[in-house]
Structure 1
Amino acid sequence: MTLILKRLTLLAARELEETLVEALLDLQPALPGFTTALVAGHGEGFARASVQESVRGRIDRLQLWIVLPEGDVKRVLDLLAARFAHSRLRWWVEPVEAMGELA
């Protein structure tokens, strides 16, 4: 049986970083790991932006990437939906064609 991997990407307000990371680290069975980065969003949707973000023309966000088995995506999204229902957390899923480590 071939393991099908997906990359789940999450975008959230930076204020949610600690709570979101803690929720993901507490998941059982545990996630294989994930990566976080502070990023800036550009484009439409500045209605909820701070004054500073509006002046700069970009919205500060936290981005998380999780590569996990396809069957775990729904489990993670269900947890996030329950814990962060009104947080405007944005997500998407992409296929992972290959993955490895160069040594």
Structure 2
Amino acid sequence: MPNELKRLTLVAPRALEEDLVSVLLEMHPALPGFTTAHVAGHGEGFERARVVERVQGRIDRVLLWLVLPAETVDRVLARLCDVLPQSEVVWWVEPVETMGRRA
């Protein structure tokens, strides 16, 4: 399907936010855009948490959403792995059924 879209979600420590954004903005050909949000992680993975995060019971994270042509997802993931090989970056891919703008 030539127009198939996927949503790539990245979750990373906030300390990596600027590096992630820079890599995505510098990609060629350029990406269509993305969204970032500051979020809190809950659950497993507190061994690297700061003291304040352990007390609060949540870890500060940045969430990045990219809606991309399906064939672009692997290129983006490969570039991120080359430039930022940190294991703290979690990602997943989901299908996008429809997308548009409100008129």
Q: Could you say which residue in structure 1 is the equivalent of 2:49? A: 49
Q: Could you say which residue in structure 2 is the equivalent of 1:18? A: 18
Give the TM-score, by structure 1 length: 0.96
Gaps of 5+ in 1: none
Paired-residue identity, %: 62
Change in Cα spacing, 1:2 to 1:86, as seen in structure 2 (3 Å) is closer
Q: Give 1:55-70 correspondences, 5 Å limit.
A: 55-70=55-70
Deviation per CA, 1:47-95, whole angstroms, max 9, x where unpaired?
A: 1100000000000000000000000000000000001112421000000
Aligned residue type for 2:78: D
Aligned residue type for 1:26: E
Q: Answer whether contact 1:12 1:87 (CA < 8 A) is retained.
A: no
Give the TM-score, by structure 2 length: 0.96
Give aligned pairs, total.
103
Structure 2 counterpart SS, 1:28: coil
Structure 1 counterpart SS, 2:47: coil
Gaps of 5+ in 2: none
Distance 2:4 2:18 in 1: 29
Q: Could you say which residue in structure 2 is the equivalent of 1:27? A: 27
Distance 2:42 2:63 in 1: 14
